Structure 1
Amino acid sequence: MKLPGYYSSGEFARMANVTVRTIRYYDKQNILKPSYVNEATGARYYTDADLVQLQQILLLKYLGFSLDDIKELTIEDADYHILRNQLDLQLTLIQDKIEQMQLVQKAIEDTTAAIDQNQNINWKQMLDLIHLTGMENSLKSQYQNASNITSRIRLHNLYSQNKKGWFPWVFEQCQIQPGMHILEIGCGNGSLWSENASLIPKKDIQIVLSDISRGMIRDARRMLLPHSGHNISRDARFSFQVFPADHIPYEENTFDLVIANHVLFYCEDIPAVCEEIWRVLKPSGRFLCSTYGSHHMKEITDLVQEFDSRIVLSGDKLYDQFGLENGAEILHPFFHNIEIQTYPDELIVDSAEPLIEYILSCHGNQNQYLLDRYKDFRTFVEKKTTHGFHITKEAGIFLTVK
């Protein structure tokens, strides 16, 4: 007997315009499991909610992701907020793909024109074309990075008890004035500037946003510069560059202010990064860097390990690399007048899905143990958040002077 609201494999396949064989294959690969299986007959049934996951699978497959990648990037949850966030990320991914294909198109046209003009092959242009057509891996990396950043910012935006958000508070500490030349390293998606857009001087200021990820720079550019059709307008205040923090391509004494917002603890050689920042700062220029303390978000670690003790949300304790407890000692060889400002806040979370998204965004082994038991984990988190789940926040900034 068929349950109301459920579709057989054949009906589900016809609705999605795919074959039954495809649906069965995704089931076998543990990418899209049926919502109900009749134990007596073995018949598999799907719901409207399963269409959400199928949409993600088909889009990622269309963009060239492997099945292993797709399994890692999709979750069995049709919650409204999760679906909305996923669609936003998919739109960003499509925009990245369009930009990449436009670059490939131009490279082919330029290479063809050079061959027609010179009657021989320009091997450098051919190498550039090879590099452009091998960019699929960067799409996966960008999708994961954008998803992770969005999930972390969203949890804080929804549940922080401090009404002055993190980015407005950091911006306030920057004390930005007209005439300044500013560098942000590890800018991510540019939230520091987009959330404070009305406070940035309208002219007579230069702001360089940099990141090691080209995808993050694309996101920052899209966030800060309005679109007009397929074109992005210019804003003379902003420039965007891709480079590592330990090799800053500017002359010494260039910047009045350098900002590193939750970046230093990811750097392999922090002293080398500090030396570069010191080099490019003007005399009496300021360096602002933020980090966490050892108790930051500790309740989330306790939560996942209560569910499964094998889970480690991060292979490295970032505050051990560069934290509120040891940051001054690390900065001291390069800067003086080191001040610490802490950001008073906590989270009270009363909904499961933003917390789950945050957990899945971490750099640990959680997906290995949670994705196959996702429904059980969601039920577990729902119980924990019923009456408000308290999370400690311990974050702040170091303000230093060259």
Structure 2
Amino acid sequence: MNKFYTSGQFAEKAHVSIRTIRYYDQKEILKPTVRTEGGDRRYSEQDFAKLQQILLLKYLGFSLKDIREMTIASGDTQFLLNSLQMQKRLVEERVERMKNVITAIDSTSEALEHEKKVDWSKMMDLIHLTAMDQSLSLQYKNATNISARIKLHRDYSVNKEGWFNWLFRHLNLKPGMKILELGAGSGTLWSQNLNKVPENTTVILSDISKGILLDAKKDIGSHPGFQYSVFDAQNIPFSDNTFDLVIANHMLFYCEDLTKTLKEVQRVLKPGAAFFCSTYSKEHMHEITDLVQSFDSNIVLSSVNLYERFGLDNGEKILTPFFDDIHCCKYHDAIEISEAAPIISYILSCHGNQNEVLLNHYQEFKQFVEGKVKNGFHITKDAGYFVGRK
């Protein structure tokens, strides 16, 4: 039989106050597994796992609103394991930052003790360094979302070559090329193909998020050909005619000013050099949308249809003013799955209102998805890339 704890026992074991436990209940962050007929709270071992999540995320700087949404599925082992791995990476990053803080404090103290001139600009850097921890929540969300999406495609796709290997093969890289990837994210295109990168190739991975690029750097390691740069693709900080190849893998539809971005890409490409940009159509993963809509028509997985900004149907028309010899190549694939957890994880990673809607209906939603997929579930994939030349 499951062991249950009273509020007092639960609080004592968790080293928090009863007031904290009651507060989390009131805010619907941590509800007790059971309530007695008299209204007393009873907590389970699974509730301890969720409380661990809450306390660590709170330590990492998340708001209670964020925590409430991010721990929807924390009672499920696989979700908990994935979340713990992400939390570990953030804690490791915080440790590295704190080491830098200690070094800065020591050097400043030494300068003061020996009446040397203090470089106060370093202390200002220290202040900004510690303030950067506020960005951890965004980094965590991005990393968790990317992980959920990659896992679904990697583990359940029919085409076993995989998107990143397929795209890399089509890039047809040559030794000595200078390459820029815009919106490189966690660098999966490269970390999965490191042994195939030609000699003397320079690859610059860029993203608007410094935290995501740090993840890419960790995964790629000390490979001498890779550099990392944080910037917005609408303002590429490189000279004209610099690159032999520019890549934008499923990112152009996020650009606020797509025209400006494409002008920048054209500018930094060498004459005759290629621009690879991937995207998808309205048919891509449409079964996921149909699934959540059939559960609750109020759920919107994305407030914007990204394929309308830049998709397989309109991409050539958008690229034509900037590039020549444009052609499209499609990736033939689908997802076949009979497990609910990866689909739910994918759904929770979307940028819509699903987490807010599902907060108080998670178990019901989980059972609904399990029923829909138990005999097999097909998900359409309709993605590909455009390539054009300057």
Quote the Cα distance in structure 2 between the aligned partners of 1:361 and 1:86: 12
Quote the Cα distance in structure 1 between the aligned partners of 2:294 and 2:306: 22
Q: Give the alignment partner of residue 360 of structure 1, picking from 324, 348, 353.
A: 348
Structure 1 letter corresponding to 2:86: L
Match of 1:264 in 2: 252
Counterpart of 1:138 in 2: which secondary structure?
Answer: helix
Match of 1:100 in 2: 97
Would you say the 8 A contact 2:324–2:388 is kept in 1? Answer: yes
- CA apart distance, 1:123: 5.8
Whether 2:151 is the aligned partner of 1:154: answer: yes
Would you say the 8 A contact 2:73–2:79 is kept in 1? Answer: no
- CA apart distance, 1:112: 4.6
Whether 2:327 is the aligned partner of 1:325: answer: no
Whether 2:50 is the aligned partner of 1:53: answer: yes
Q: Identity of paired residues, percent?
A: 52
Deviations 1:143-174 (A, max 9, x none): 00001100111111121111110100110111
Structure 2 letter corresponding to 1:262: H
Quote the Cα distance in structure 1 between the aligned partners of 2:2 and 2:162: 46
Structure 1 gap ranges (5+):
226-233
- CA apart distance, 1:87: 1.3
The aligned length equals: 390
Whether 2:185 is the aligned partner of 1:197: answer: no
Match of 1:207 in 2: 203
Q: Give the alignment partner of residue 85 of structure 1, picking from 48, 58, 82.
A: 82
Deviations 1:154-207 (A, max 9, x none): 111121111110100110111112111111111111110111122122x31111
Which segment is superposed worse, 76-85 or 302-311? 76-85
Match of 1:14 in 2: 12
Counterpart of 2:152 in 1: which secondary structure?
Answer: helix
Q: TM-score, normalised by structure 2?
A: 0.94
Would you say the 8 A contact 1:53–1:76 is kept in 2? Answer: no
Would you say the 8 A contact 1:96–1:139 is kept in 2? Answer: no
Q: Give the alignment partner of residue 141 of structure 2, picking from 144, 157, 162.
A: 144
- CA apart distance, 1:116: 6.0
Q: Give the alignment partner of residue 395 of structure 1, picking from 359, 383, 389.
A: 383
Quote the Cα distance in structure 2 between the aligned partners of 1:148 and 1:213: 14
Deviations 1:277-334 (A, max 9, x none): 1111111111111001011111111111111111111111000110001111111111
Q: TM-score, normalised by structure 1?
A: 0.92
**Equivalent residue runs for 1:337-376 within 5 Å:** 337-376=325-364
- CA apart distance, 1:120: 7.4
Whether 2:28 is the aligned partner of 1:27: answer: no
Structure 2 letter corresponding to 1:335: F
Counterpart of 1:347 in 2: which secondary structure?
Answer: strand
Would you say the 8 A contact 2:61–2:134 is kept in 1? Answer: no
Would you say the 8 A contact 2:139–2:211 is kept in 1? Answer: yes
Quote the Cα distance in structure 2 between the aligned partners of 1:361 and 1:106: 37
Counterpart of 1:103 in 2: which secondary structure?
Answer: helix
Aligned-residue Cα RMSD (Å) equals 1.9
Quote the Cα distance in structure 2 between the aligned partners of 1:186 and 1:199: 21
Would you say the 8 A contact 2:300–2:353 is kept in 1? Answer: yes
Structure 2 gap ranges (5+):
none
Counterpart of 1:139 in 2: which secondary structure?
Answer: helix
Quote the Cα distance in structure 1 between the aligned partners of 2:166 and 2:194: 14
Whether 2:70 is the aligned partner of 1:73: answer: yes
- CA apart distance, 1:139: 0.3
Q: Give the alignment partner of residue 135 of structure 1, picking from 104, 107, 132.
A: 132
Quote the Cα distance in structure 2 between the aligned partners of 1:159 and 1:117: 63
Deviations 1:222-273 (A, max 9, x none): 1110xxxxxxxx3211111111111111111111111110010000111111
Would you say the 8 A contact 1:296–1:395 is kept in 2? Answer: yes
**Equivalent residue runs for 1:164-175 within 5 Å:** 164-175=161-172
Quote the Cα distance in structure 1 between the aligned partners of 2:114 and 2:240: 43
Distance 1:338 1:27, change over 3 A: same
Quote the Cα distance in structure 2 between the aligned partners of 1:195 and 1:80: 27
Which segment is superposed worse, 374-383 or 5-14? 5-14
Distance 1:37 1:76, change over 3 A: farther
Deviations 1:69-128 (A, max 9, x none): 221221243333212211110111112212332333344445555666777776644543
Quote the Cα distance in structure 2 between the aligned partners of 1:157 and 1:355: 13
Would you say the 8 A contact 1:53–1:75 is kept in 2? Answer: no
Quote the Cα distance in structure 1 between the aligned partners of 2:114 and 2:277: 52
Which segment is superposed worse, 50-59 or 313-322? 50-59
Structure 1 letter corresponding to 2:378: H
Whether 2:24 is the aligned partner of 1:36: answer: no
Quote the Cα distance in structure 2 between the aligned partners of 1:98 and 1:257: 37
